[in-house]
Structure formats: C-alpha cells, structure tokens
Structure 1
C-alpha cells in the first residue's frame, strides 16, 4: 500500500514511526503492520527500479560521466563535474583550444626535428673586433702597495714578476 505522492513526485512518510507514541497511542500491532507496509513499499520501489531497463542514452551518459570524473586528462574532470550546460560548454571550449595548441606546437616541433637541418657557420676572416681578446679585470681586493709591505708576499711577487719576464733562474 503506497502513500500518496506530493507535487514533487516524492512520497510523504507516515508520521507513526518518527513521532512519539503519545500522539498515536501505544498499539504495538499497529506499529508492526505499519512497519510491514513500509518494507513492502521499499521492496516494490526496488523492483520497479530494477525492472525498468535503462535506455542506451542513459547508459552512455552514465558511462561517459564516470569516465570523465576519473580521467587524468586536464579539463575533462571539470567538464564531467560541471553542474550547468554553460559550464560544460566553457570547459569544452577551453579544452578544444588547448588541444589545438598542443597539436600545432607538437607538429611544428616534429617537422623541425624531422627536417634534419644542419647549421654550420665558419668565420675565418681576421677582422678587428670591438672588444679586446684579453680583458683585464680590475676588481682586485688586494692593493699592490699593501702587498709590498709584507716581506713574504713581496718576495713572492718578485718571483712571480721574474718568471713572467723570463729572468727567473733556478
């Protein structure tokens, strides 16, 4: 025995199970009958749901939604979890442009690689350059006048200058 449906298609629950016994009396046999009626209603609902075959569209839609929610591709889970058609369309557009950009960049890189291009540029001309070939860096924290004050460092500097001039004798 099914309860009447309200305007939203949902059945109203009978108040006897949730309300206190003071309002409806303490008749245990009535409670048992009501419990059996509720169980029968639930079982009949399950049977109705099981007997109604899903359409192809419903099966495909649920399968696509499940795949989309578990997909590791960026953007697809957002599309599958969107609540409005506008959000789905926005995510589809974003995903489409990203896919097009990927295909363009990938194909451009692949074509450049498969061209096997060789770039060889040799310059043998002895032209004068704007910059000297040797650059001296004057960022030296040691002052020559301070080094000459210490005898050991002054001797080392003399040996270094002698070897640079070629006058060092052993």
Structure 2
C-alpha cells in the first residue's frame, strides 16, 4: 500500500468514525449554532462560591455546550480537510514525505484551533479535557507516521469528547 493510499484510507476511516461518534444522542442540549452564553452579571460573579459537588451554573453549562459543539465542528472540519488533501495528493502526485508533511501541518493547525476553544471554556474540567485533546492532536502532528496515528489514536478522540464533554 502506498503512503498516499494509506493516508486516504486512514482519512476515510477517521471520517466514518467521527460521523458516528459526533452524532447527538438526544440527551444533551446544545446552544444554537453561533449562539454565545450571556456573560454573568457582576453581582452573580461576586456572590458565586464554587462548590465541588454543585451543578454548574446555567452560564457555565451553556458555555460548556457551546465549547463542546465548537470542538466537535473543528474535529469534523479538520477530518474533512485531511480527507480532501489526501485525495488531492493523488492528483498532484505528491511523495509520501510530502503527504506526511501536509498531514502533520493539518493536524498542527487543528490542535491550535482546538486549544483556542479550551481557552474559552469556563469549567476547569472541560478546559482540561479540551487542552488534553489539543495535546493529543499535537502528538499526531509530531508523529513519524501520522496516517497510522490517525487510525490508531485520532479515531478515539470523538468518542472521548462525546462521553466527557458535557455540562
């Protein structure tokens, strides 16, 4: 199997897995696309005292839903870009090294975008989850075999986000 074929196959497997993992279970409710959570009033911030067992505030829950939805969209868009670039690599007759470099660049960009969403998260656990996700994607960008990393590690990221990224 050539390097380009392996990457194309990895991208297809990744997209299929992502499509299944990122589907809503109907149990959670997300903010509408483009909606942002209202900022809490100064008095609400001043009087709020976090409790370890307390449910997140409505503003934090809305923020978590928005951040998690944004990360899902980034992962799906990044996966589509990887698949499109893999298909284009065949037409452009890129070497396996060039294809790997392109894949690594796509993964590094995706990690940066995901890290940007972590910065938006108000819930420290969600911030840590999204930061860890970005770090994992960065590991793929640094991998000697990024196509193999896609099929072995990247495909687990959406499932983890679906299970853990919620208010």
Do both proteins adopt the same fold according to a TM-score greater than 0.5, normalized to the shorter chain? no
Structure possessing the higher radius of gyration over alpha carbons: 1
TM-score (norm 1): 0.22
TM-score (norm 2): 0.22
Which fold has the larger relative contact order, with Cα–Cα distance below 8 Å and residues 6 or more apart in sequence? 2
Greater share of residues in helix: 2
